[in-house]
Structure 1
Amino acid sequence: MKKNKQIILIIFLLSISGYSQEITGKWSGNLKVQGTQLRLVFNINQIENRYISTMDSPDQGAKGIPVTSTSFENSILKIEMSNAKIEYQGTLGKDNNIIGVFKQSGQFFPLNLSKKSVEKEELIRPQEPAKPYSYYSEDITFENKKANIILAGTLTLPKKDGVFPVVVLISGSGPQNRDEELMGHKPFLVLADYLTKNGIAVLRFDDRGTASSKGNFKTATSLDFSTDVEAGVKYLQTRKEINKKKIGLIGHSEGGIIAPMIASRSKEIAFIVLLAGTGIPGDELLLLQQELKGKASGVSEENLQKTKNTNKGAFEIVSKSTNSEQLKIDLTNYIKQTLKDNPNAEKPEGISEEDFVQLQVNQIASPWMQYFIKYNPATTLEKVKCPVLAINGEKDIQVPPKENLEAIKKAFEKGKNKNVIIKELPNLNHLFQECKTGLPNEYAKIEQTFSPIALEEILNWIVKQVN
């Protein structure tokens, strides 16, 4: 999946001793998240005996975001934004820099601040198209009546007038905008641009609760997201420019789980493309992900096995669970016992054991994770009767090709779907970039967003389906 769902977080809280200094003014820093940098600015003012602050996020075009509370005592700055579930705590040092940690929704990230303005990181992304486009592009909205939410996206057509085959792009795990933007890349923007220039209309949209789409992302599962895609298909059927008999789906990562769900229950889907789609059960995939990532990062076999056993135990608790409240109790007891049995286990510094345990429980017991751990995609793949292209990158360590493509192949054979092409593309990672190791920390460093070989593979296959 796009974001590795890890049980043990390895994040270090940096702190230094200091003495009280002037805290008012503009404090800037770079928040580094999964290889990308996001500039943040805290504007701190003092009125009588209290501090009032706002936050700017220049890279997101946000300015003057209200801060709920600001305190500065004994050289420690604390900032809280309750609505966004954001907390920041840092220590002001003698060098007039603040060393601290940014926390949002249970995730911890180092964030150091200074009075110096932080320049935007210039990323080289040669494949990103620039406006004006050579085709018609329209921002649209459509309604998922089942969930009672409005979703926002972009429909691109080869020409403004005409009747065209179309694909709906389905993003991977985690809240994604219509461009599937992550690690400084916009894979869906590049893919949509390429397909539209070659005669295929494309609908891509913001995940529910993300960017311009309404709804609650945190409470949704893959099954819920599939209804969002179905709403997109229904919208396309109202457009005169769309060939109703040639509507296909392209799902990346978790999207490769969702596309077969829809195709298995609808005859209106003409074909599907699985980009790093999964074929093995969710719990098996998570364990395999962690093992491969650990090996590639140089983790010892002993530690890999310990982590695997710990996570396996947690997943088994989830798999057997039928009650969410009891699940949280069982996981809390399990993780506490695990920490007791492994006193040297790595966990973030500066966080109490109670908060750490709660962080893990909230992550594992979330609706999305529960559904993912229990879900076996093979049973759905067996029911898909439309043409399918399934491709994976050879160096993908998030959805490993060997295990998943083999499981996908067996599922289609069991379902007697013979109109299936399965390919492993050499030297490509989970994002279908040409890479060295396949590790996620490479994604942002690679200039290429989407391998031309993969793009051509997708286009050529789709053209055969729609002609």
Structure 2
Amino acid sequence: MGVGTGTCEVTFHHGDVRLAGTLSVPDHPGRRPGVVMIGGSGPADRHNDVLFPPIRQHLLEAGIAVLSYDKRGVGASSGDWIASSLDDLAADADAAVRFLRAQPAIEGRAVGIVGHSEGGWVGLRAAAALVTDVAFVVTSGCPGMSPAVQDRYALVNLLRQVGQVVEADIDRVLALHDRLVAAGRRGASFAEATRIVRTEMPAGLPAYWHDVDERLWEFMKRKQDHDPVPDQVRLRCPHLATFGGADQIVPVAESVHLFGGAACRTDRDPRATLTVQVFPGADHRLLRADGTFADGYLDTLAGWILARI
């Protein structure tokens, strides 16, 4: 059944996975453009913690419909994200795009994807693979490199925030990280990975491994060498990449360089333009220290989308 204006709970399917979400449609005349919002890593629900609601409200006020959904195995969605791959998550995003396009109040040719962090990888993969082109892709805080490289950067920043950690300990943890990546590449078991951590982890830093179990280790192995650049090269639509200049999780300068290099490829589709916006002082979620969005971020997001449709 089609959804009219207002906000309602919806469900759609990818194979035997039932995905549950919220669809909000502005009360504007005519058929509306729309976005599918994809949350970040881990058990992300349709609100991506508390990040998506204010973005959703701003897009609605700009006349843009928004569909966001619980990741498989989270909230009201069935399935299991830990047992999935990025391809599985991208296929879920594909199902969300197709569901949104099918709504009578939505202009199907004006539907795009907005993905945060890991959700940016998922959105790029979905957009590159979709048979029917999406109108645009927006990524926020999306690394331009693999998780193995990005995690190394995040780990250094995390350790430097911990009191009484010396550079020698940081070097040891980075060497441990590199050993775990190598172990993952050769298919090492969780037991072997745990032995590596117990042998090489500096005293006083147990939090590095405390929440990893066997299933999460298998997920990490599947994901660790994902490279988003080939998906960006295959895009057939405009891409807006937004970053917080003070992001401690993603190496922003390197990500901008990698995305920019992909955009300069001569084999790129001419529709696949790249716009990069870095907001000084903002963090991984494009938030300032006071918890509000960076100046201009929400207006930039809505204005860029409307200009592309």
> Please, what TM-score do these two structures have when normalized by structure 2?
0.89
Q: Which residue of 2 aligns with 1:443?
A: none
Q: Which residue of 2 aligns with 1:320?
A: 186
- Helix, strand or coil for the counterpart of 1:204? strand
Q: State the shift of 1:412 in Å.
A: 2.2
Give CA deviations for 1:350-390 in whole Å, capped at 9, x if unaligned. xxxxxx989656376232x1122121111222211210000
Give CA deviations for 1:10-56 in whole Å, capped at 9, x if unaligned. xxxxxxxxxxxxxxxxxxxxxxxxxxxxxxxxxxxxxxxxxxxxxxx
Q: State the shift of 1:191 in Å.
A: 0.7
RMSD: 2.3
- Mapped to 2, the partners of 1:238 and 1:431 lie a distance apart of 31
Residue pair 1:272, 1:387 contacting (<8 A) in 2 also: yes
- Mapped to 2, the partners of 1:286 and 1:258 lie a distance apart of 17
Residue pair 2:83, 2:215 contacting (<8 A) in 1 also: no
Of Structure 1 and Structure 2, the greater strand share is in 1
Structure 1 pair 249–142 and aligned structure 2 pair: CA distance change class (3 A): same
Is 1:269 matched with 2:121? no
- Mapped to 1, the partners of 2:30 and 2:278 lie a distance apart of 35
The AA in structure 1 aligned to 2:68 is R
Is 1:334 matched with 2:202? no
- Mapped to 1, the partners of 2:189 and 2:186 lie a distance apart of 9
Q: State the shift of 1:256 in Å.
A: 0.7
Q: Which residue of 2 aligns with 1:373?
A: 224
Q: State the shift of 1:451 in Å.
A: 3.2
Work out the percentage of aligned pairs sharing the same amino acid. 23
Residue pair 1:281, 1:376 contacting (<8 A) in 2 also: yes
- Helix, strand or coil for the counterpart of 1:208? coil
The AA in structure 2 aligned to 1:319 is R
Is 1:241 matched with 2:92? no
- Mapped to 2, the partners of 1:361 and 1:211 lie a distance apart of 21
Give CA deviations for 1:91-113 in whole Å, capped at 9, x if unaligned. xxxxxxxxxxxxxxxxxxxxxxx
Is 1:390 matched with 2:237? no
Is 1:286 matched with 2:148? no
Residue pair 1:390, 1:421 contacting (<8 A) in 2 also: yes
Q: State the shift of 1:225 in Å.
A: 1.2
- Mapped to 2, the partners of 1:389 and 1:207 lie a distance apart of 23
Q: Which residue of 2 aligns with 1:300?
A: 166
Q: State the shift of 1:139 in Å.
A: 1.3
- Helix, strand or coil for the counterpart of 2:36? strand
What does residue range 16-95 of structure 1 map to in structure 2 within 5 Å? none
Task: Determine which structure has more spread, i.e. the larger CA radius of gyration.
Answer: 1
- Mapped to 2, the partners of 1:169 and 1:357 lie a distance apart of 30
Aligned length: 300
Residue pair 1:332, 1:358 contacting (<8 A) in 2 also: no
Q: Which residue of 2 aligns with 1:422?
A: 276
Is 1:461 matched with 2:274? no
Q: Where do 5+ consecutive residues of structure 2 fail to align?
A: none
Give CA deviations for 1:254-287 in whole Å, capped at 9, x if unaligned. 0110111011112331110010111111111111
The AA in structure 2 aligned to 1:430 is H
Q: Which residue of 1 aligns with 2:6?
A: 136
What does residue range 117-128 of structure 1 map to in structure 2 within 5 Å? none
Q: State the shift of 1:219 in Å.
A: 1.3
- Helix, strand or coil for the counterpart of 1:211? coil
Q: State the shift of 1:168 in Å.
A: 0.2
Q: State the shift of 1:190 in Å.
A: 0.8
What does residue range 175-186 of structure 1 map to in structure 2 within 5 Å? 175-181=43-49, 186=50
Q: Which residue of 2 aligns with 1:251?
A: 115
Q: State the shift of 1:454 in Å.
A: 0.8
Q: State the shift of 1:294 in Å.
A: 2.3
The AA in structure 1 aligned to 2:12 is F
Q: Which residue of 2 aligns with 1:225?
A: 89
Q: State the shift of 1:424 in Å.
A: 1.2
Residue pair 2:190, 2:213 contacting (<8 A) in 1 also: yes
- Mapped to 1, the partners of 2:213 and 2:26 lie a distance apart of 47
The AA in structure 2 aligned to 1:168 is V
Is 1:163 matched with 2:163? no
The higher-RCO structure (CA 8 Å, 6+ apart) is 2
Q: State the shift of 1:152 in Å.
A: 1.0
- Mapped to 2, the partners of 1:457 and 1:160 lie a distance apart of 21
- Mapped to 2, the partners of 1:330 and 1:447 lie a distance apart of 41
Q: Which residue of 2 aligns with 1:412?
A: 263
Q: Which residue of 2 aligns with 1:347?
A: 206
The AA in structure 2 aligned to 1:294 is L
- Helix, strand or coil for the counterpart of 2:298? helix
- Mapped to 1, the partners of 2:273 and 2:209 lie a distance apart of 47
- Helix, strand or coil for the counterpart of 1:430? coil
- Mapped to 2, the partners of 1:274 and 1:296 lie a distance apart of 27
